[in-house]
Structure 1
Amino acid sequence: MAGPTTAERGERQARQDPDSGPPRPPLLKRLPKPRRLIILVVCLALLAAGCLWVLYGSQWLRVERVSASGTRVLTPDQVVEAADVPVGSPLISVDTDVIEARLRRKLPRIDSVDVVRSWPHGIGLKVIERTPVLVAEKGGKFIEVDAKGVRYATVSRAPKGVPALELTVSRSAGLRRFGTDRLMREAVRVAGSLPAAVARDTRTVKVRSYDSISLELSGNRTVLWGSGEKSGVKARTLSALMKAAPEARHFDVSVPTAPASSGS
Structure 2
Amino acid sequence: MSELLSHRIEEIGRMCADAVPDRSLGDIRLLAPVDGATEVWAAGVTYLRSRDARVEESSLKSVYELVYDAERPELFFKSPAWRVVVDGEPVGIRSDSELNVPEPELALVVNRFEEIVGYVVCNDMSSRSVEGENPLYLPQAKVYAGACALSPGIRPAWEVDPSDLAIRLTITREGEVVWDGATSTKQIRRPFAELTAYLFHSENHPHGAVLATGTGVVPEIDFRLRAGDVITVTIDEIGELRNPVVVGKEHFTFLTAP
Name whichever structure is richer in strand by fraction.
2
Bin the TM-score by the shorter chain: under 0.3
Q: Which has the higher contact order (CA 8 A, sep 6+)?
A: 2
TM-score, length basis structure 2: 0.22
Q: Which has the larger radius of gyration?
A: 1
Name whichever structure is richer in helix by fraction.
1
TM-score, length basis structure 1: 0.22
